[in-house]
Amino acid sequence: MKTLILLCGLLLTVPGCKPAVSTPPAAAATNQTFSVRGIIQQLSPDHRHVTIKHEKIPGYMAAMTMDFSVRDTNALAGFAPGDEITFALVVTGDDDWIENLQRTGKTGGVSGPPGWRAVEPELSVGDPLPDYEFTSENGRPVNFSDFHGRAVAFTFFFTSCPLPEYCPRMNRNFAEARNVLLADPNAPANWQLLSISFDSAFDQPLILASYAGIYRGTNADRWLFAVASTNTLASLAPKVDLNFWRESGSISHNLRTVVLDGNGKIFRQFDGNDWTPEQLADAIRAAAKTNAP
């Protein structure tokens, strides 16, 4: 599966720093462009993404290993893991990408960032997902089993995530998919959205509740935000091929969105961020027809 890796924080340029308020980083009003140096770790087969271990970007983010998108797939032609490069990172209010890649040297021993190799096998479509407990935005425990009989779409995020095409896109897609379903008079009613934070050290219920309102407003209908404990993530993550780890005081991770049917079985998994809200809504509609007995 394609791995998309992401760092923690526009506000985390100082290792260990956390934002003082529970709002996501402000979107760029205009394009911001940063000159960056790094080493290529991995290229996606379709040349739409490249994983780079980059140096600190002054005024924006700490040194980190993460995945970047390119607008022109030809931009990665001729590059390979181990290439030392310079590039431009462009960030807008709702997107980010890299361009103007230039090779400056070559290094060896590239094996990818830590945490990529799951210690347990990933579950497949049709497999039942074990029940897990999370702490919801209202401070109460919540389990997958609480939604028995409903299609459940869940994704992972953390509130300090800065790059527009990662955690913020997951939440925007959930918001748009929910709008599609709520506006459809023929849509089933037995579905639930669940956004799960893996930053248990910071994303406490009060933070989650405030953050949730940014994306769903005052209408919390069928969309709950929660946080997973370290122990829960240790068991759940490999089952859906979620990889995350702390690096330079930040969090790196890939992107996973999963739809369960009414019996708690995996109905569909969306990897990365290339899926659309309409695709998610369609998967939820189909999964909701598989009702628990």
pLDDT of residue 102: 95
* CATH number given to 133-288: 3.40.30.10
**Could you tell me which residues are beta bridge partners of residue 36?**
87
Q: DSSP E strands: which ranges in 17-168?
A: 32-43, 49-54, 64-69, 83-91, 96-106, 133-136, 141-143, 151-157
- DSSP assignment, residue 75? G
How many CA atoms lie within 13 Å of 159's alpha carbon, on the beta-carbon side? 28
Question: Residue 135 and residue 189: Cα distance in Å, rounded?
Answer: 24
Q: Which helix (H) or strand (E) segment is 181 a member of? A: helix 167-183
Contact 36, 81 (CB under 8 A): no
Q: Would the CA dihedral through 87, 28, 251, 124 be positive or negative?
A: negative
Question: Full-prediction pTM beyond 0.85?
Answer: no
pLDDT given at position 166: 83
In order along its 293 residues, the chain shows pLDDT tens digits of 434 434 333 333 333 333 333 334 434 445 889 999 999 988 888 888 888 888 988 878 778 787 888 998 899 999 999 999 999 999 887 788 899 999 999 987 676 555 544 456 789 999 999 999 999 999 999 999 999 999 999 999 999 887 778 899 999 999 999 999 999 999 999 999 999 999 998 999 999 999 999 999 999 999 999 999 989 998 999 999 988 776 666 667 789 999 999 999 999 999 988 899 999 999 999 999 986 55
Per the rule left: phi > 0, alpha: psi between -120 and 50, beta: everything else, 276 is: beta
